[in-house]
Amino acid sequence: MKKVLSGIQPSGKLTLGNYIGALKNFVTLQDDYSCNFMVVDLHAITVAQDPANLREQSEAVAALFVAAGIDPNKSNVYMQSHVRQHAQLGWILTTLTSMGELERMTQFKDKAAGKESVGAGLFVYPSLMAADILVYNADLVPVGEDQKQHLELTRDLAGRFNSRFGEYFTLPDPYIPKVGARIMSLDDASKKMSKSNPNPGSYIALLDSPDEIRKKISRATTDSGREVRFDTENKLEVSNLITIYSQCSGLSVAEVEQKYEGQMYGPFKKDLAEVVVGVLEPLQQRYREIRNSGEIHDILRQGALKANEEAEKVLQDVQRMMGFLS
């Protein structure tokens, strides 16, 4: 089976955008691929984290992975920091990465903009991200559009290693769904729905109550027109809501348009809220069961053990090819 690797940071609350753009696809991929899904806590500390919050969010994100349908019997679910080979290969790949490559990373530019001091970890973390992927020789990486640049760097580093030390690494390909890969903010559809947005009304958190979900969708920004029509040039906000409806209901975009033909935004948004609640309520119930039982700790332990076995072989091969003493 081909290998898949992906991860989500435990910073902020996971959103409906994370579910549609990532978790939902993880669940689908696990039936056909050998999957490693991790909570990337080493990436989270590239910015300051409160220890108690980091611990709570790490466990919460891991539990949401499983609650969303990732099966620990099919996929490895684990903490990035529990598999030390990520950091070890990360350092090795940092030595193969040029300053110029890191300076060109748009995410670094965006996150560093306007700040007097920026940690070195924020600058070099694309090399660690490359290690996350290459330590399993992954074939496929589910990434959003904003991470494609990092995957290109991963491919460059894999090719550079192969050229210098011998063919070894697979050049990974991105997995980007055509619809629903990028869910936008409820208050500004020109921006991605983000758990780091300071306005909680801009996103639906996976653990929001039904009433919170209904309130947020009722207040979601729409254009001045009346038609429930998918048009990403002229009706960006409504198109985003239609995408959410489609992804949560299983209806196509055209079927959603047809269902609300001749109706205004009010009935559409009211129904959309119930569709989203219908998807999230069972997930929330499963999440509470996982947290209350404490089973997530066993899942993470077993996932790390399996991932460790696979990663250790790759790390040893890399070190041998580069001339390290064994």
Q: Which residues are catalytic?
A: 111, 192, 195
Q: Transcribe 15-59 into DSSP letters.
A: BHHHIIIIIHHHHHHTTTSEEEEEE-HHHHTTS---HHHHHHHHH
320 residue type, one letter: R
Burial 60-71 (b: 16+ CB within 10 A, else e): bbbbbbbbbebe
> For 125, phi and psi rounded to 5 degrees?
-65, -25
Inter-residue contact 275 to 245 (CB < 8 Å): yes
Listed residue (180, 197, 125, 182) closest to 154, CA to CA: 125
Output the CA angle 78-69-297, nearest 5 degrees.
Answer: 35
Distance CA 38, CA 57 (A): 13
CA distance 27 to 168: 29
Beta strand pairing call for 75-79 and 140-142: unpaired
Q: Which amino acid is at 71?
A: D
